[in-house]
Structures are given as structure tokens and as C-alpha cells.
Amino acid sequence: MDSGVVRARGSSSAMTGLHDRVIAPARTLRAMFTRFWPLTRPDRPTLLGAGLLLIVAAAADTVAVLMFMDIIDGVVSSGKLSGYWEPAGIWASVAVAGAVATACGSYLLARAGERFLLRLRDTTFAHLQRLPPHFFAQHPPGDLVARLSGDIEEIETLVSAGVVQGVTAAVSVVFFGGAVFWLRWDLALVVIALLPALLLLTRRVAKGFRVTAQDERLSNGAISDVVEQGVSNVALAQAYATEQVEAERLHEQGRAWMRARLAQMRLTAVYTPTTDLLESLCVLTVLGVGVWEITQGRLTIGGLVAFSTFLGFLYTPIHSLSSLFLTMSAARASSDRVSEVLDAVPAVTDLPRAWVEPARHGRLVLAHVGFSYPAARRPSLTDVTLSTRPGQLVLLTGPSGAGKSTVAGLLMRFYDPTGGRVLLDGVDLRDYSLSALRHSITLLPQQAAIVDGTVAENIAYGSPGASKRQIGDAARAAQAESFIQSLPRGYDTRLGSHGTALSGGQRQRIAIARALLRDTPVIVLDEPTAGLDGPAAAALVPALRALIRGRTTILITHDLTLAPSADAVLVLDNGRLVEHGTHHQLIERGGLYRHLQGRLDPAASLIA
């Protein structure tokens, strides 16, 4: 049952595709601990302290019950008050000690748990940020949000709270169990007889819990995802009057979630009363045997009262151990989902002795570069060779799907080429540290990203410590200053999901200012004017020229306005470089380039 791949069930699979995904095989509990336990390291002293305090609390309870027995046998039976004070005094002192220990222990426990949660989320997010684009293509954002919130909390409950709860319960079982045996070992055996039944029941329920928890976590991720998509595409839904479809999608996932929750509730609903029933039977048996023993003069009343009290105390930790087992079974689903993120391998990493100095000149060389995306059937690039001198403008064009953005991705080292090499200033990109590389090359993607923050913060994104003046200079060079000044609060206007919306051209200008401020020797522009209409694209050209000036530039575009000033024009088709020359040479040759120019770019011919 544990081995193999578990395929999630769900009637709504076609809706989101989420339920179609195969979840990683459920790991064993031990593997789960090995995975997450190291993260508790900085809090181990705290955990140890909490554990010790909770042991003190258990010991205090034990002493209290023994004092109770003393009072009943020594005072109540004999009727003399003088014997009361000593046990009462001890009882009161241990009760105080126990209360203090419980309070401190629980707080320390909570603290260690919260700190673990913080660390686990930080670690997972940091890892997530290093993952390659195809990981994000396979995992919708809403689902990842759910993994980083709800699933991490599940693991927290288990690893920190669960472990100490488990240790404390185990210690209590030893204390109270020891006391029970010490009082009457034969009566204690009656209690032991109950354990196998409890164990069997717990195992069965735990199995059910694991399966339902998997469904529950999966639906939870799917719900986040539907909401996330619904919110980001709300304009589309309204424009196409598909709100009802979206609502049904959510309802469908909500129902799946409800079914899983109810299945869990059913298990709990049966489990708790059944264990209570087993306990009652056990207590009745003990009482019966005890009363008989008293009539035979082999047990005092105080002894029986103490014995039953210990039994009552013993059930609490046994309960908590078995419920811990259930929590663990449920947390396994979350553990799998977080582990899937942590196990995903970044496509690129720093070599041990990586070059930490950013490149200075910007001489780019692609030598026989080939590339296939992970799990892709066909290569996306085959034997691409090109070289630039510092400061040159190279224009890369070609039909959609030709592999242009793939070239940009390799230059940014989102992936390493599967064949050939990419060199910057004579050094293989793999020999730079990622940080040095990304301080050498700036990418301007097609969709200019705007982060939550002010205009100034957006421009300075990636250039921490830039001064107001530098930001202003960059904005001016990007021809963004006039529109920024017309915003309600100028450079302090908030942009992003909670701020002012900008037009496509304005976003692109902010992005150009941001790139200008970074001032790297190499710039990669991936279709900077796509999505803009002819006049808006034409208006962006001066800003682009400012950005390009003095930097090695790879300009990927269908818009050939800048083609005449390019040092070289390259045409990609089907992953291969098919044409290479200056704009005029290629026009004269009348090949694919000429064809593309006529067909793809009415705007460019309009301006030209």
C-alpha cells in the first residue's frame, strides 16, 4: 500500500488538471522525520527544556495521586486529622511546581514550533525561488501558495508539537504505568489487555486518515488555485460572462474538499467514542476486581482510589499518543507536498569555485549551442553559433516558436545548454556565480513586471541603494519622467496589484529605467514592443536606443524599426540559425527575413 504511486481520485479532474497530477509516493514516517527534523536544530535546547518541564509536570501529578492515597488511607480511614498536614503540604507544593512547569513547558513548546514553521517556510520559499521555469509551468501558483501555507502548518504541528507531545506522553505512560504496576501488578495486567484492541483500532483509522488527508490537501491546493486564477482573470470572466463557470469550478473543488473533510470527521467520530468505550470497559473490570480484592483484605480503599486515578491519568497520554499517530498520518500528505518542492532540483547552481566578478566588457559567444527542455521530445535549439563584440547590437528574429526566448533563457542561465557553450568575456556562463552572471546581464522580458511598491521602488528593483537622483536620471533616459510626474504622487505613487495601473508602454518604460539603472554590460530584450500598438511601439524606440547605447544588446523582436542600426541580424527558424547578415544584406537576399518583415510587421513598415 505504501509503495507505488498514488493517483488522486476526484471527479473534477478535467477541470483544473490538478487532480490528474501524480503525487509523490507517500513516504514512511521515519523518512518524514529525517527530512524535517534537522530544521529543528537551533531550537533543540528549547525542545529539550520543554520536554523536561513536561516530565516534571507528569512527576508532580504522580506524587499528587500518591499523596491522595496517603490521605484516604491514613486520615479518612483512621479519622485523625494530624496525619493530613504532611501529605497535603507535599501535594500543594508539587501542584504549584507542576502548574509552573506546565505553563513554561507549553510556552517553550509553542515557541519552538513557531520558529520551526518560520524556518521551514523560509527554506522552502528560498528553494522555490531557485527552481527553473518548467517547475512553475507544472505547478500552478495557487497550489504552491497552499503548500507554503497550510501544508507547512500541518508539518509544524507534527514535528515540533507532535514530537514533544509524543515524548511527554511516553514519559507519562512510563510514570503512571510504573505507579500502576508498583501499586498492583496483577491489576495492571488487566489494563494491558486493552492495549492491543486500541492499537488495532488506531492503525485502521490512521490508514483511512492518510488517504483522506491526501485528498483534502489536494483539494485545498486546487481551491487556492481556482481562486487565484479567478481573481487574476476576473476581467476575462466578466467580459465573456463565464462567472458561472468559474463559480462551478470552485464549487466542484469545494465539494471535493468537503467530502475529504467529512470522511475525516467520520473516522474521528467513530474513533473517539470507541476508545472511550474500551476505556470504560477497562475501568469497570478494574473496579470489579479491585472491590473483590478489598473484600478479601488484599487492597485498601485508598489503594483502589489511587489505582483508578492513575488509570485515568494513564489514558490521557495513551489518547494523545494515538491521536499523535493520526496527526502523523494526516501530515504525511502535507509532508509529501512540501517535499515535492524541496526535492525539485534547480536547473542551475554555482560551481564550487565560481567566478564572482561580474563581466566588464560584454563579449558574448554562443558556440554550437543546442538545447532541449527537460522532458521535451524535440530540441528547441540546434547548433546555434554567434558572437558579438562589446557594445554591438544583434537583432534576433524568426517565427513564433523558433527558439528566440530559449536563447534569452540560456543567456540568463535559467538553463544550461545541453550541447555547446555560451561564453561571456571568454568565460563559460557555468563558471560564473549566478549572482555575478545576473549582475552582468539584464533581461527585459516581454511582459514588464511591476512589483508591489512605489514607482521609485520599482525602478530601483535590482539596484538596492540607488539614490533618488540616479533613479530620476534613469527615468529621464527611459523617457518615463513626464508620465511619472503626472501620476498623483509622482515617484511615490504606488504601483502593482494594489496600486495605480499603467499602460503597456508605461510599464515598459519603467522596466527600461530599471534596466538602465542596473547598468550591466549586456542587455537581452525579449520582444520589448510586442503587445504595443504601432505608435506606442514607435514611441518606445528612443528609450530603447538609450538603453542599448554602449551595451552589448541581444534584441529579440518582430519589430524591425531598429534593424537598420543593428550590427548583425540573425534569423532563427525551428531552433536553427538560418540567416545571418546586416539588415540590407538579408533584405536583398530575399529569404525568410524578407518574408517575415513583409508579413509579420505591418507596424514596422508603417513607421519605416
Ligand X SMILES: Nc1ncnc2c1ncn2[C@@H]1O[C@H](COP(=O)(O)OP(=O)(O)O)[C@@H](O)[C@H]1O
137 binds ligand X (CB under 6 A): yes
8 A C-beta contact, residue 548 and residue 523: yes
The count of chain residues that interact with Mg ion, using the rule CB under 5 A, is 1
Q: What are phi and psi of 253, to 5 degrees?
A: -70, -40
Write the interaction track for ligand X spanning residues 93-132; mark x where CB under 6 A is met and - where it is not. ----------------------------------------
529 binds ligand X (CB under 6 A): no
Residues 348-377 that bind ligand X (CB under 6 A): 373, 376
Look at the block and give the residue holding cell 479518612: 76
Write the interaction track for ligand X spanning residues 384-423; mark x where CB under 6 A is met and - where it is not. --------------x-xxxxxxx-----------------
State the DSSP string of 523-550: EEEESTTTTS-HHHHHHHHHHHHHHHTT
8 A C-beta contact, residue 31 and residue 3: no
373 binds, among Mg ion, ligand X, none (CB under 5 to 8 A by kind): ligand X
Choose between 202 and 380: whose C-beta lies nearer to ligand X. Answer: 380
405 binds Mg ion (CB under 5 A): yes
Q: Which residues contact 251 (CB under 8 A, 6 or more apart)?
A: none
Closest contact distance (angstroms) between CB of 530 and ligand X is 10
State the DSSP string of 176-215: HHHHHHHH-HHHHHHHHTTHHHHHHHHHHHHHHHHHHHHH
Task: Using DSSP bridges, classify how beta strands 393-397 and 552-556 pair: parallel, antiparallel or unpaired.
Answer: parallel
CA proximity to 561, closest of 522, 592, 534: 534
134 binds ligand X (CB under 6 A): yes
525 binds ligand X (CB under 6 A): no
Kindly calculate the radius of gyration of the chain based on its CA atoms and give it in whole angstroms: 34
Q: What is the dihedral of CA 482, 487, 491, 492, to 10 degrees?
A: 170
**133-141, 256-264, 275-283, 296-304 -> range binding ligand X (CB under 6 A):** 133-141
162 binds ligand X (CB under 6 A): no
The residue with its CB nearest to Mg ion is: 405
Closest contact distance (angstroms) between CB of 608 and ligand X is 23
229 binds Mg ion (CB under 5 A): no
Look at the block and give the residue holding cell 487556492: 224
State the DSSP string of 22-40: EEPPPPPHHHHHHHHGGGG
Closest contact distance (angstroms) between CB of 570 and Mg ion is 14
Closest contact distance (angstroms) between CB of 143 and ligand X is 18
Choose between 405 and 458: whose C-beta lies nearer to Mg ion. Answer: 405
Closest contact distance (angstroms) between CB of 374 and ligand X is 7
Choose between 223 and 410: whose C-beta lies nearer to ligand X. Answer: 410
Note the helical H segments in 37-140.
44-71, 85-128, 133-138
The count of chain residues that interact with ligand X, using the rule CB under 6 A, is 14
Choose between 220 and 405: whose C-beta lies nearer to Mg ion. Answer: 405
Q: Which residues contact 86 (CB under 8 A, 6 or more apart)?
A: none
Q: Residue length, the chain?
A: 608
> Using CA atoms, how far apart are residues 144 and 18, in angstroms rounded to an integer?
12
133 binds ligand X (CB under 6 A): yes
Residues that bind Mg ion (CB under 5 A): 405
Residues that bind ligand X (CB under 6 A): 133-134, 137, 373, 376, 380, 398, 400-406
